[in-house]
């Protein structure tokens, strides 16, 4: 099993989520940009739910920004790799500075994608969080924790592909996890797509506008 592209993955994921949720449905689908929004659009359409964006930023180690030590969303608890932070001897002041900078950037990017519109209220909402695939799961978990902290009634994480061990971890962060493809020997998300071309900001904004023409 493979996906042709993100739109194909979105259609197949929409079928899987619809079958799992049935009449329960959902109020809101959150796509994690950039590629996750393209996958999320068919899911939202199938569920008759609103589509919005939820940005999470990987947290780079001080002086080694390419090395991720966690992830953070605009609000909610951060996801931190404490053993790695300890090995790198990252002090609390430096860690807090990195967290603050990442949150500011996450809020800025959300504002760009929403074209200045306010975020949807998560309280008491049935929410599905979607990405185009998961490796470590840090960014998805950061979004899930933001949604939980904001008082969502029910949280589903839905992705086209992820390693089995990551799905076990995700199950502790959500009420349900939907993933049609969980291959053993997983190496990278892109290897399960025929076309995994980079998605631009304009594509994300267009997908959101199509889901909500009044934007």
Instruction: Give 7-44 pLDDT, tens digit per residue.
Output: 999 999 999 999 999 998 999 999 999 999 999 999 99
pLDDT of 116 over the 90 cut: no
pLDDT band (50, 70, 90) for residue 186:
very high
Fold of domain 6-56+119-210:
Rossmann fold (3.40.50)
Give the helix/strand (H/E) hosting 97. Answer: helix 92-114
**Which range has the top average pLDDT, 60-64, 133-137, 202-206?**
202-206
Q: Which CATH number fits domain 57-114: 3.30.70, 3.30.420, 3.40.50, 3.30.1310?
A: 3.30.1310
Specify whether the CB–CB gap between 29 and 208 falls below 8 A: no
Identify whether 159 is preceded by a cis peptide bond (ω within 30 of 0): no
Q: What is the pLDDT of residue 136?
A: 84
User: What integer pLDDT is reported at residue 65 of this predicted model?
Assistant: 80
Check if the beta carbon of residue 199 is closer than 8 Å to that of residue 6: yes
Report residue 208's pLDDT band, with 50, 70 and 90 as the boundaries. very high
Strand pairing category for 64-72 and 126-130: unpaired
Cα 91 from Cα 99, distance rounded (Å): 12
Burial profile 100-130: b = 16 or more Cβ within 10 angstroms, e = fewer:
eebbeebbebbeebbeeeebbebeebbbbbb
| Structural domain boundaries in the chain | 6-56+119-210, 57-114
Above pLDDT 70, what percent of the chain? 99
């Amino acid at each position: 099993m493979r996906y042709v592209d993100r739109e194909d993955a979105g259609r197949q994921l929409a079928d899987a989520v619809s079958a799992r949720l049935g009449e329960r449905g959902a109020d809101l689908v959150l796509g994690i940009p950039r590629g996750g929004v393209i996958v999320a659009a068919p899911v939202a359409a199938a569920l008759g739910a609103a589509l919005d964006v939820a940005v999470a930023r990987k947290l780079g180690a001080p002086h080694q920004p390419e090395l991720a030590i966690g992830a953070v969303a605009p609000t909610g608890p951060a996801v931190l790799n404490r053993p790695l932070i300890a090995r790198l001897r990252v002090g609390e002041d430096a860690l807090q500075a990195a967290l603050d900078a990442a949150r500011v950037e996450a809020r800025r990017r959300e504002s760009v994608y929403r074209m200045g519109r306010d975020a949807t209220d998560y309280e008491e909402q049935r929410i599905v969080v979607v990405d185009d695939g998961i490796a470590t799961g840090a960014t998805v978990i950061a979004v899930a924790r933001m949604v939980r902290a904001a008082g969502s009634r029910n949280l589903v994480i839905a992705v086209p592909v992820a390693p089995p061990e990551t799905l076990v971890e995700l199950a502790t962060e959500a009420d349900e996890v939907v993933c049609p493809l969980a291959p053993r020997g997983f190496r990278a998300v892109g290897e399960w797509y025929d076309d995994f071309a980079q998605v631009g900001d304009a594509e994300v904004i267009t997908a959101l506008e199509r889901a909500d023409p009044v934007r």
